[in-house]
Amino acid sequence: MPVEDPSFLGSFIFFWGQKQETTHTWFSLFDEYGNKTEAVSVAEEIWKGKTLNFRGPKIINIFLSGKVAPDNIFLDPDELQSAEIKVLQNTSGFSVIWEIYPEDWFKKNNVNNLIKPKILKGLIIQQSGFKVRFKTPTAEGPYRLFSTVLDNKGNIATANIPFYVIRSHE
C-alpha cells in the first residue's frame, strides 16, 4: 500500500474476501470459489502504481422488464418476467449465472445477517446469453435477482436488482 501517500486510507481494503452482508456480492472482492472481481485488479494498480488492464467481464447495468433498481419494481406473484445485463466489452468466452434469493433484510441487534439466504430454485425458465426469463415467487415479499458473469480466467462481474412481489388486495 502507498503508505507515503497522504490519501493512504483511501487505498485500504475494507474486507479482502467474500462475505454475506445484505447481499453476497456487495462487499466481496471474490466469489465463494475464489474468482476475482475488477476491484482486486484496481487495488493492485493502486498499490503497485502501474496499470494492469483488467480484461475480465464488466457489467454496465442490469434491467428487469426494462426497469433499473431505483425504479421500485413491484411484480405480481407467479408471473413471467425477463431480465438482461449489458456488458462493456466483447463477450466471447463469458458465461452467465442467474439466481434469485429472498431479500436479506434480517438484522439482530442492528447487525447484518452473515449467513447467505437459500437460493430459490425452479424459478429460472430460460437463459440465453445475457438474458433470462423467470417466474416470480408465489409468496409476497422482497427478492433480488443476481447475475454473475464469468470468464475462463477466474474473473467475475456481478449485478443484482431488487424487486417486491405483491399480491393484489382487491
Please report, for the domain that includes residue 79, its CATH number: 2.60.40.10
Are residues 44 and 143 in contact, defined by beta-carbon separation less than 8 angstroms?
no
* Residue 39 host element (H or E): helix 38-48
Residue 30 lies in a domain: yes
In the predicted model, is pLDDT for residue 23 greater than 80? Answer: no
pTM of the model: 0.80
pLDDT at 8: 64
Identify the domain containing residue 62 by its residue range.
8-165
Q: What is the DSSP string of 105-136?
A: --EETTEE--SPPPP-TT-EEEEETTEEEEEP
pLDDT in tens, 36-76: 888 878 878 877 788 877 778 999 999 999 999 999 999 99
Q: Which of 41, 81, 100, 77 is nearest to 167 (CA)?
A: 77
Q: Residue 15: helix, strand or coil by DSSP?
A: coil
Mean pLDDT, the chain, whole residue set: 83
Single-letter code of the amino acid located at 168: S
Residue 106 lies in a domain: yes
Kindly state the average pLDDT of the residues 64-90: 93
Residue 25 lies in a domain: yes
Residue 2 lies in a domain: no
pLDDT in tens, 96-135: 999 999 987 766 777 666 677 799 999 999 999 899 999 9
Q: How many domains does the chain have?
A: 1
Report DSSP state, residue 55. -
Residue 105 lies in a domain: yes
Residue 3 lies in a domain: no
Residue 65 lies in a domain: yes
The three cell numbers locating residue 90: 466483447
